[in-house]
């Protein structure tokens, strides 16, 4: 009696698009070799992860031609259009995160502005907590004839 699970763990699984075909390879191979035998397609690693809400999320990581496929992993052939869609989704997710971060920053900026306005209304300086007044020079001016003259 053989152990089928052990044999499957020692293979590279390559899923073909549009078909229910899965190719099993029993040795290490480069992504370039797979792409050259399937023109117009790229090789992507299927990455399974859990999202924040606990659901299973599958993502594709497109491989470079020089990358070596690892035994025990599942790969998928994807078209150029699928690569563009994947990149667009990643870019959209990244922009969404940046927008959320920017919104938080803007919200903090608004509260800082409100705090500054409140300090100004109360007559409190931001750094010295003293009354806010008009700046006056502390030095006396020197007239051209050499006498001291006060600016007060």
pLDDT band at 106 (very low <50, low <70, confident <90, very high): low
β-pairing, 12-15 with 74-79? parallel
Task: Give phi and psi for 14, each to the nearest 5.
Answer: -120, 120
What would the mean pLDDT of 66-83 be, rounded to a whole number? Answer: 92
β-pairing, 74-79 with 41-50? antiparallel
**Cα separation, 146 vs 152, whole angstroms:** 18
The DSSP string of 4-20 is HHHHHHTSEEEEPTTS-
For residue 124, the cross-strand partners are: 131
Q: So where are the chain's domains?
A: 4-98
**Cα separation, 55 vs 124, whole angstroms:** 52
Architecture of domain 4-98: Beta Barrel (2.40)
The pLDDT of residue 126 is 47
In terms of pTM, does the model score above 0.85? no
Per residue in 16-68, pLDDT (tens digit) is 988 789 999 999 899 999 999 999 999 999 888 888 888 888 888 889 999 99
3-state secondary structure of 125: coil
Lowest mean per-residue pLDDT among 9-18, 80-89, 100-109, 120-129: 120-129
């Amino acid at each position: 009696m053989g152990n089928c699970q052990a044999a499957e763990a020692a293979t590279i699984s390559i899923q073909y698009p549009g078909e229910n075909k899965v190719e099993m390879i029993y040795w290490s191979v480069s992504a370039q070799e797979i792409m050259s035998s399937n023109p117009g397609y790229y090789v992507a690693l299927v990455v399974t992860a859990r999202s924040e809400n606990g659901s299973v999320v599958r993502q594709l990581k497109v491989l470079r031609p020089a990358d070596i496929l690892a035994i025990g992993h599942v790969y998928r052939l994807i078209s150029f259009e699928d690569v563009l869609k994947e990149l667009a989704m990643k870019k959209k997710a990244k922009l969404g995160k940046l927008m959320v971060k920017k919104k938080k920053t803007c919200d903090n900026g608004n509260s800082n502005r409100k705090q500054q306005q409140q300090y100004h209304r109360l007559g409190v300086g931001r750094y010295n907590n003293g009354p806010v007044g008009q700046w006056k020079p502390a030095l006396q001016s020197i007239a051209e004839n050499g006498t001291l003259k006060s600016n007060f």
